Amino acid sequence: MDIVSHRLVSRRATAPLAGRIAVPGDKSISHRALMFGALAVGETRISGLLEGEDVLRTAAAMRALGAEVAHEPDGTWRVAGRGVGGLVEPADVLDMGNSGTAARLLCGVLASHHLFAVMTGDGSLRRRPMRRVIDPLSACGARFAAREGGRLPLAVQGPKEALPLEYRVPVPSAQVKSAALLCGLNAPGITRVEEPEATRDHTENMLRHFGATVQVEEAGRGRIISLQGQPELRAADVAVPGDPSSAAFLTAAALLVPGSRLTIAGVGLNELRCGLYATLGEMGADIVVENRRMQGGEPVGDLVVSYGELHGVDVPWERAPIMIDEYPVLAVIASHAVGTTRMRGLKELRVKESDRVNATAALLAVNGARVEIEGDDLIVHGDGRALPGGGLVETDMDHRIAMAALVLGAATDQPVTVDEAAFIDTSFPGFAALMNDAGAVLSPA
């Protein structure tokens, strides 16, 4: 049983982190596997599914829409799908908990189905903007009703016959791109989505895996994705790799605790998710990839992470789309590097579970780091020495802020405490126990 509950404190590790561990399944792929399984004809089996609260909300939503979703005794998940266009009207409100990914992708699914549905979420999710998907999805003929600013709760009325979409995503967002593509599945003709910067392509990979016709054209730094609508998706088994965003926290801990050498097995290495590891390489991090392989259409490998001196770097704004979830933990790493690290163009971080630019700066400042914000840039100054620590971090119900703070505490002089940690399980069940297995010292405050 995980020890996470309410306040959690992280103390300086008493020995180097070592051993071989595995992180939970990739959250982005887990959400999509359940949705595509529900939209396919036949039975899909999913292994390695992340069984955190966020993904379980998606499983419950697909059940409510008519798919059969079951957790088998051997740990795999079985999804008996309804086929594209075959979802049924849910009898109750769909509660997506804390998951912005699930809510936005599900909007795309619902928008082109002729049914009425209402979606809500927890306090954090109800503050997050949904207008970015409502506006493009409305072009298929769907009607939406939401709170001011396009915020949840949100009602969706799908059209009798959906229209294909032609949309240019204004800012790099895999969620918006994916919502449009999922909407296009149940519309005749070709749906085309252009993104200005290439973002994670799990949706495109999974569309192909389930039998859809997808074409991707390079367009400068971005891509144009074309999808043939109304395919008959065929059930296809999915092996979910380890989540690279979750692996980032164990990677950071190993880089910060002197003498550490930690192997993180089976991590997804999609090139559009690996911006953090490119940045860490520039900082001088000792990270070796072993046993590279393909798993469920995604590249996978084992990360061997060793402690060593790191140096500050300038992280270009163009890299943000492929490491958007990793900035809080990168900032923690940067606080122990020699020199200044400037992370540019973090506007998108302001509309996550919290304003992660301000929240990350606050978690570092309260523990003695020198940190600045200039516009949408986050600047962290380090001298290669451990921070004083001793701070209480206000997480604002943001799981990544909480985990980044707890990783920081493994290397600070004084313990670091987070004000609330129970919601970490929404994305990384067993986080505290896994950190402790590796050699960290986390316990209830």
Q: What residue has token string 């070796």? A: 288
Distance CA 104, CA 177 (A): 10
The residue type of 423 is F
The residue type of 190 is I
H-helix segments, 304-355: 327-334
Enter the tokens of residue 387.
């921070």
Distance CA 103, CA 122 (A): 11
Residue 6 gets the label, from left (phi > 0), alpha (psi -120 to 50) or beta, of left
Q: What are the two backbone dihedrals, phi and then psi, of residue 333, each rounded to the nearest 5 degrees?
A: -60, -45
Enter the tokens of residue 58.
């998606």
Reduced to 3 DSSP states, what percent helix, strand and coil does the chain have, rounded to the nearest 5? 30, 30, 40
- Kindly tell me the burial class for residue 16, based on how many C-beta atoms sit within 10 Å of its own C-beta (0-12, 13-18, 19 or more): middle
Q: What are the two backbone dihedrals, phi and then psi, of residue 279, each rounded to the nearest 5 degrees?
A: -65, -45
DSSP letter string, 55-114: HHHHHHHHHHTT-EEEE-TTS-EEEE---TT-----SS-EE-TT-HHHHHHHHHHHHTSS
Whether residue 153 is preceded by a cis peptide bond, meaning omega within 30 degrees of 0, is yes
Measured CA to CA in angstroms, residue 426 lies from 54, 95, 299 at distances of 5, 14, 25
325 among known catalytic residues = yes
Q: How far is CA 79 from the centre of its chain?
A: 22
Distance CA 284, CA 24 (A): 27
Distance CA 71, CA 330 (A): 35
Active-site option among 201, 325, 396, 398? 325
Measured CA to CA in angstroms, residue 429 lies from 27, 54, 305, 314, 421 at distances of 11, 10, 22, 33, 11
Question: How many Å from the N-terminal Cα to the C-terminal Cα in the chain?
Answer: 17
The residue type of 58 is T
Enter the tokens of residue 24.
């939970």
Positions annotated as catalytic residues are 325
